[in-house]
Structure 1
Amino acid sequence: MSTNADAVFHYHQRTKHQPNAYAKGPDSLDWANQPDPFRRFTGCESVKLPLPGMELACRFGDLDKPETIPPQPLTMNNLGLMLELSFGLSAWKQYDPDHWALRCNPSSGNLHPTEAYLICTDASLLQPGVYHYVSHDHALERRCHFAGDDLSGELYIGLSSIHWREAWKYGERAFRYCQHDIGHALAALSYAAACLGWSPELLGEASDADIASWLGLDRSDDFVEHEREAPDLLCRLRTNQHGCEAFDAQRLTQMTHGAQWSGKALRLSDRHFHRWPIIDEAAHQMQKPATTAERSQPYAFDLPTPSHNLAASRLIRQRRSAQHFDGTAASLPLADFHRILAALLPNAKPPFTAWNWPAQVHMLIFVHRVDTLKPGLYLLPRNANAITALKQTFATDFVWQRSAAPFEFYQLVAGDIRQAAKTLCCHQAIAGDSAFSLGMLARFAENVEAETWRYRRLFWECGLLGQILYLEAEASGVRGTGIGCFFDDMVHAVLGLRDHTWQSLYHFTVGMPLEDNRLQTLPAYAHLRGEISSEGKV
């Protein structure tokens, strides 16, 4: 085993929650220095995008067959709509004097460590250069412009993480949550692009160093210390007129190296009371080099039409993270449950159209209230090859009874497991009061030992699956929420796991939400129309 892999295992083990000791984090929150949730640069040109809020005719069920959605023209209106539905605001919430923004891409603790960038080499759309998207203002900040006329006419979307934003609240475990959020954001981008008949092509072969150079993240003097951004992913946008040629990384390097850069990132916090050096150490150990290009070949299968088949743009904007569930609500219809699970299987629809790698994560399902399905612990394998390995690894007393579903789905244990689900998820009632909850079990040691950066990729996959669950829950008339707090090794003990071969990396829960009537919901971008203040107040 490599020294780097040892360091990754050490980070992962150190940041596990245990019943008698949570992962190391701040003893109290320094509210006066909570990081600004909106990154802005000063000293560079701002390009306002057309006002957001347009609805599309495309329904959520239409995204099951993205090839049937007519590609929309690449205009500033449509580009702005894609960015809004991917990374923009979905609403403001207000409770007495407190107010906060919600976004279309979910985030642990609503802290939003993910930043989005646009690289444009199409002079007919924008002045060619690198742009940073500001969700609050629905605007692009031009960080650099490309010189010369020999441009390729392409559009790229880059994603990065500000680890400090998450570590301010969650301490050492925050690095995990940042990776979840990258997966959420990639899936959000895939869904939003599909609404327009477009598709992001994940350029998974790109190295971290190249992405940092292309987005200007390696310009250390442009960022406040401890608030720098780590490069994560780059996608090329495929529209009816872009993204058909082979990716030319060298050409992109030439353009960004010869560019004129401007702007400096504004400070997010006045001070950094806590330091979490293990996050920087872990990020260093998991840097991704350039790799061989991979492109997935997902298989197509039919999904039933969602029971709440709303306009896709409306459903994306209404997505919320449930805070509480009605533990006495009616059972979730079996058809809705089957559709939700089927959507998690690799297929030829968003967001898997933007995912290049084979499934490494499988679903441990805690069924509480689903019509005609016995409560108990179930397993949804996301590829057939995993079954043999899982049976050999799991506890020997599981029954492995095949359920009557249109895909492989196994009951492991029958019975009321609501209290167990709650206990495993740090005693959170949402895991037991829902219709079902789940844990995401990843093939862990094999990936980390092969290439340490795959640790991040496993969390990206979990976040991508989380976004599927969020939107499919809305399309079933219920609601979901991600659970980052769980007792890692207690979950493994339930399954009979004794080493790092498999690890639980993310939990999720779906059910009928209880609304908090004390909260006022305000429109996402009324402040751009002068209807509310820029802080979200009426």
Structure 2
Amino acid sequence: MVVSCFQYHRSTSYDRDRMEGHGLDWENQPSVFKEYPGIEPIPLPEPGPFPEKNLSELLRQEKLDPEGFTFHIKALSTLLFLTYSLTGKARQGDGFFYFRSVPSAGALYPAELYFTANGLAGLDDGLYHFSIARHGLHLLREEPQGKGAESGPSLTFFLTSIFFRSCWKYRDRGYRYCLLDTGHLLQSLVLAAGSMGASLSCSADFPDNQVNRFLGLDQEREVCLAVAEVPMRKESVLGVIPESEKLSQDMVDASRVALKETVYSAPVEAHKAGMSIRRGNEESLPAMVYRLGPSPDHWEPLPSFSTWHEVVQYKDAVLSRRSRRNFFQEPMPEPAVHGLLDGLLKGTSENTRQFVGTGVLVNNAGSREPGYYLLDSKTESLGMVKEGPFMETMAHICLDQAWLANAALHFLFMADLGALEERFGPRGYRYAMLEAGRMGEILYLTAASMGIGCCGIGAFYDEEARQLLKLDKNTRLLYLVAVGPVKRA
């Protein structure tokens, strides 16, 4: 029985001497598209026009005007397209594999996107599921037109994850990927909204059971992990979600994505352990980068990065984003290194800093000496922990994926899980993993905007990684993102 998310993380750690291989049940491969039998999707208008902005502009934007988003269905279509869309296809067996704008471990895509709309021109008020396959909407709950109109229009997104999609391949470790992938999608949504002039208020704190019931989820299979609102109302929509009636069993059963599913207990139990919210003291914790264990002898302030070497605008970076592994040993130009660091600095909030610390393994990148560094996003400085080559050793730790040794940089997202659990309870694990995923998404899009490769890694021998990075006993590597020049086809 999992009662602690730190316990869950430890129990799903990979150990080189205890790894048990397992085959995949191809007869029950999960569908990556959620459908609602009997509910025909409402087609959305063709998306566009698209914002002509660079990613660097979006990340540097100051807090936006809450009324900056125009509430109509055409704008919603564009927002959803930029957030989560099919961007290409390749033949796979007897069918096709569809690339998406957002990365996913094993291309299993556990994340789903729902929203409630009120007062949005061209769309009836209600709860909707976004069908990425059809670029359309499944209407799940109708709301009387004009209800809540006195509070103004509202748009609230709910990001969920279907356990079995990830657990089919990764088994009990799958909950890690569900959280990271939801973080990817959340950051994609934030950037898409920002590109259209809207700010989002994001939260991982909400009444789980009430929200899951409202969305019509089978909580053994699918759960809500994050909420994001366009803050137009004085009060959050979360505060007025009623104790809603249960949706029809057919709708609830839509959380099932294979004929025969194994319900892996560890992810379900870990998630339930984190359902209680323990915020209490609202004072932020000290920055996580100072609580990991290693400490640089000195911190070097980073130069001001006025421009990046962007070769495509934000929209094209979204559409061209891929997980690229064909790194080769070529020096990464200094402007590209600056862009990656600046993207993380500008995309890191106070919230991120208290939950996740960032490290960098440098191989062949600009003028930096090879070594292991920590990044302090608040003071915008970099400190070397240890000089020397690390890439081959880290590639060995990442399940001997030799291609990782050719990357120019490995970005490391780490957290003291013991301290987070002590302060926030098991839910602190959600906060850290979601933030790690969000930072990974920033790197993916920053790399795509500059025409370089990027690939996230959540599979590694956990204790070996802890020892290599000199992390304290309760601190763990959560996510590694490799970046560097790639060979062109």
Both structures adopt the same fold (TM-score exceeding 0.5): yes
Match of 1:464 in 2: 438
Distance in 1 between the 2:169 and 2:121 partners?
Answer: 43
Work out whether residues 8 and 285 of structure 1, in 8 Å CA contact, stay in contact via their aligned partners in 2: yes
For residues 292-317 of structure 1, what are the alpha-carbon distances to aligned partners after superposition, in whole Å with 9 as ceiling and x for unaligned? 79799xxxx97422211522111111
3-state SS of 1:92 partner: strand
Distance in 2 between the 1:156 and 1:248 partners?
Answer: 7
Match of 1:526 in 2: none
1:268 pairs with 2:257 = yes
For residues 477-519 of structure 1, what are the alpha-carbon distances to aligned partners after superposition, in whole Å with 9 as ceiling and x for unaligned? 212110011111111112333521x21111110012235x5xx
Work out whether residues 360 and 409 of structure 2, in 8 Å CA contact, stay in contact via their aligned partners in 1: yes
Please give the residue correspondences for 1:62-101 in structure 2 after superposition, counting only pairs within 5 Å: 62-67=57-62, 71=68, 73-94=70-91, 97-101=94-98
Distance in 2 between the 1:418 and 1:306 partners?
Answer: 25
Match of 1:282 in 2: 270
Work out whether residues 177 and 484 of structure 1, in 8 Å CA contact, stay in contact via their aligned partners in 2: yes
User: Number of paired residues?
Assistant: 464
Match of 2:406 in 1: 433
Instruction: Give the deviation of 1:364 after TM superposition.
Output: 2.3
Distance in 1 between the 2:160 and 2:276 partners?
Answer: 13
For residues 10-64 of structure 1, what are the alpha-carbon distances to aligned partners after superposition, in whole Å with 9 as ceiling and x for unaligned? 3211111122223x6x710111211000001123352111124754322223213
Distance in 2 between the 1:96 and 1:250 partners?
Answer: 47
Distance in 2 between the 1:383 and 1:43 partners?
Answer: 51
1:126 pairs with 2:99 = no
Work out whether residues 63 and 199 of structure 2, in 8 Å CA contact, stay in contact via their aligned partners in 1: no
Work out whether residues 442 and 503 of structure 1, in 8 Å CA contact, stay in contact via their aligned partners in 2: yes
Task: Work out which of the residue numbers 143, 153, 158 in structure 1 matches 2:140.
Answer: 143
Instruction: Give the deviation of 1:156 after TM superposition.
Output: 0.5
Which segment drifts farther, 52-61 or 307-316?
52-61
Task: Work out which of the residue numbers 45, 49, 65 in structure 1 matches 2:44.
Answer: 49
Work out whether residues 144 and 260 of structure 1, in 8 Å CA contact, stay in contact via their aligned partners in 2: no
Work out whether residues 325 and 404 of structure 2, in 8 Å CA contact, stay in contact via their aligned partners in 1: no
Note closer, same or farther for the CA distance 1:498–1:447 as it changes in structure 2 (3 Å cut): closer
For residues 276-329 of structure 1, what are the alpha-carbon distances to aligned partners after superposition, in whole Å with 9 as ceiling and x for unaligned? 222222121121448579799xxxx97422211522111111111113212x32
Note closer, same or farther for the CA distance 1:295–1:133 as it changes in structure 2 (3 Å cut): farther
Match of 1:410 in 2: 383
Match of 2:174 in 1: 174
Say what the alpha-carbon RMSD is for the aligned residues. 2.9
1:106 pairs with 2:80 = no
Distance in 2 between the 1:46 and 1:27 partners?
Answer: 37
3-state SS of 1:507 partner: strand
Work out whether residues 208 and 289 of structure 1, in 8 Å CA contact, stay in contact via their aligned partners in 2: no
Distance in 1 between the 2:267 and 2:187 partners?
Answer: 25
Distance in 2 between the 1:343 and 1:235 partners?
Answer: 21
Task: Work out which of the residue numbers 7, 12, 17 in structure 1 matches 2:9.
Answer: 12
Note closer, same or farther for the CA distance 1:383–1:69 as it changes in structure 2 (3 Å cut): closer
- In the alignment, structure 1 segments of 5+ residues that lack a partner are 385-406, 518-538
Match of 1:486 in 2: 460
Amino acid aligned to 1:136: A
For residues 357-384 of structure 1, what are the alpha-carbon distances to aligned partners after superposition, in whole Å with 9 as ceiling and x for unaligned? 5432122211111122211222223456
Distance in 2 between the 1:75 and 1:455 partners?
Answer: 36
Note closer, same or farther for the CA distance 1:200–1:293 as it changes in structure 2 (3 Å cut): farther
3-state SS of 1:359 partner: helix
Work out whether residues 426 and 486 of structure 1, in 8 Å CA contact, stay in contact via their aligned partners in 2: yes
Instruction: Give the deviation of 1:203 after TM superposition.
Output: 3.8
Work out whether residues 312 and 450 of structure 2, in 8 Å CA contact, stay in contact via their aligned partners in 1: no
Work out whether residues 86 and 100 of structure 2, in 8 Å CA contact, stay in contact via their aligned partners in 1: yes
1:442 pairs with 2:415 = yes
Match of 2:55 in 1: 60
Task: Work out which of the residue numbers 395, 412, 426 in structure 2 matches 1:452.
Answer: 426
Amino acid aligned to 2:482: T
Work out whether residues 147 and 259 of structure 1, in 8 Å CA contact, stay in contact via their aligned partners in 2: no
Amino acid aligned to 2:333: P
Note closer, same or farther for the CA distance 1:246–1:275 as it changes in structure 2 (3 Å cut): closer
- In the alignment, structure 2 segments of 5+ residues that lack a partner are 285-302
Match of 2:296 in 1: none
Identity rate of aligned residues, in percent?
A: 25
Which segment drifts farther, 169-178 or 317-326?
317-326
1:234 pairs with 2:227 = yes
Note closer, same or farther for the CA distance 1:156–1:248 as it changes in structure 2 (3 Å cut): closer
Work out whether residues 373 and 383 of structure 2, in 8 Å CA contact, stay in contact via their aligned partners in 1: yes
Instruction: Give the deviation of 1:98 after TM superposition.
Output: 4.9
Distance in 1 between the 2:282 and 2:36 partners?
Answer: 34
3-state SS of 2:148 partner: coil
Match of 1:392 in 2: none
Note closer, same or farther for the CA distance 1:334–1:16 as it changes in structure 2 (3 Å cut): same
Work out whether residues 120 and 154 of structure 1, in 8 Å CA contact, stay in contact via their aligned partners in 2: yes
Amino acid aligned to 2:240: R
Which segment drifts farther, 134-143 or 485-494?
485-494
Work out whether residues 161 and 229 of structure 1, in 8 Å CA contact, stay in contact via their aligned partners in 2: yes
Instruction: Give the deviation of 1:186 after TM superposition.
Output: 0.7
